[in-house]
DNA sequence: CCTTTGGATAGAAGTTCATCTAATCAGGAG
DNA sequence: CTCCTGATTAGATGAACTTCTATCCAAAGG
């Protein structure tokens, strides 16, 4: 266990964020701060096999294919998903490291109403 | 323990998000998807006593007071912070429940490179 | 080769958002 | 009461974002 142990606050509430870190994280958060992209991310992540074809995604929304393509590109540019063409179709899958980076920002606030049974060990990411 | 136990994926990667849930969460995420608001949140949360006066916040940024006030209002409207006037000054503090709701969305993806020692119990929030 | 289908790119239109200046509200101090 | 300071509200402006249509690229089949 190489992590720093804490039982208090989320990283975001433990020390002031630097200007650079805040700018970095804002880019990442902006990528997921959209209903369509949030649903795309969850559809890709929960798809059997861990990956989803674009053709599985376009039909679900009331949007044109280029719009879906645009949103996938935003997620991809942010490093949240990765895509690969195999033959005719393109498959996307989640990049867990980036997703967990978001979670680590807000999570270790522990349980606010009823505290967890024991102290929670938290990786202190360098963002 | 009334929670569902899992050792796999973040909630966002476990089941497709409904349209309504995605819209709700996008509003919350949009509130934190800004460098200034991210820093405001972390400055308020990490301030001694758990609360910060607006006067502590305005000087740090290269922005006018009304702009800071606007950002604080966005955070407040989203339910991430709460403010109270005491005499001359207004003090803001974090609402941990809302912050942890964000963390719960992305976190339980476990440790991607090296798995945690044991399975992690995760509250399955209804969002 | 030509055609068809899946997907991405280019550019435009409408909307949302961050920021400013100016004006307003709330408490204290003289 | 009047003035000063802390903070918010109102309105305007310019940039960024979401979505569209039209076009283009890539792979597979006839």
User: Would you say A80 and A32 are in contact if contact means Cβ atoms under 8 Å apart?
Assistant: yes
β-bridge pairing B81-86 and A89-94: unpaired
A17 touches chain B (CB under 8 A): yes
Tokens (6 digits) for B21 = 């849930």
Question: How confident is residue B126, by pLDDT bands cut at 50, 70 and 90?
Answer: very low
Position of tokens 């009331």?
A62
The torsion angle over the Cα atoms of residues A110, A113, A116 and A118, rounded to 10 degrees, is 90
Domain borders along chain B are 11-106
Question: How confident is residue A9, by pLDDT bands cut at 50, 70 and 90?
Answer: confident
Q: Which residues make beta-bridge pairs with A85? A: A90
**Rounded Cα–Cα distance for residues B58 and B38 (Å):** 14
The reported pLDDT for the residue numbered B49 is 92
Smallest CA-to-CA distance from A30 within B26, B106, B56 is with B26
* B77 C-beta less than 7 Å away from strand C: no
Strands (E) in B48-108, as ranges, are 51-53, 81-86, 89-94
The torsion angle over the Cα atoms of residues A5, B3, B122 and B51, rounded to 10 degrees, is -60
Sheet of strand B51-53, all strands in order from the earlier edge strand to the far edge: B51-53, B89-94, B81-86
The reported pLDDT for the residue numbered A108 is 67
Question: How confident is residue A7, by pLDDT bands cut at 50, 70 and 90?
Answer: low
**Rounded Cα–Cα distance for residues B65 and B46 (Å):** 21
Residue B78 predicted with pLDDT over 90 = yes
Q: Which residue of B has its CA nearest to A27?
A: B33
- In sign, the C-alpha dihedral spanning A15, B38, A21, B17 is positive
A65-109 pLDDT, tens digit per residue, is 999 999 999 999 999 999 999 999 999 999 999 999 999 999 864
The reported pLDDT for the residue numbered B123 is 41
**Rounded Cα–Cα distance for residues B64 and B57 (Å):** 11
CATH class given for the domain over B11-106? mainly alpha
Question: How confident is residue A117, by pLDDT bands cut at 50, 70 and 90?
Answer: very low
Q: Which residue is nearest to nucleotide D22 (CA to C1')?
A: A66
Smallest CA-to-CA distance from B68 within B44, B48, B46 is with B44
Interface test with B, best of A82, A99, A101 (most B CBs within 10 A): A99
């Amino acid at each position: 266990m190489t992590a720093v142990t804490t039982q208090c606050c989320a990283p975001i509430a433990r020390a002031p964020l630097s200007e650079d870190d805040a700018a970095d994280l804002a880019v990442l958060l902006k990528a997921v701060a959209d209903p369509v992209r949030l649903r795309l991310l969850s559809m890709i992540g929960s798809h059997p096999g861990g990956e989803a074809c674009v053709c599985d995604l376009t039909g679900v929304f009331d949007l044109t294919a280029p719009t879906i393509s645009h949103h996938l590109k935003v997620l991809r540019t942010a490093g949240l998903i990765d895509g690969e063409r195999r033959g005719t179709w393109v498959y996307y899958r989640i990049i867990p490291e980036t997703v967990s980076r978001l979670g680590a920002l807000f999570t270790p606030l522990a349980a606010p109403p009823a505290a967890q049974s024991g102290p929670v060990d938290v990786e202190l990411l360098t963002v």
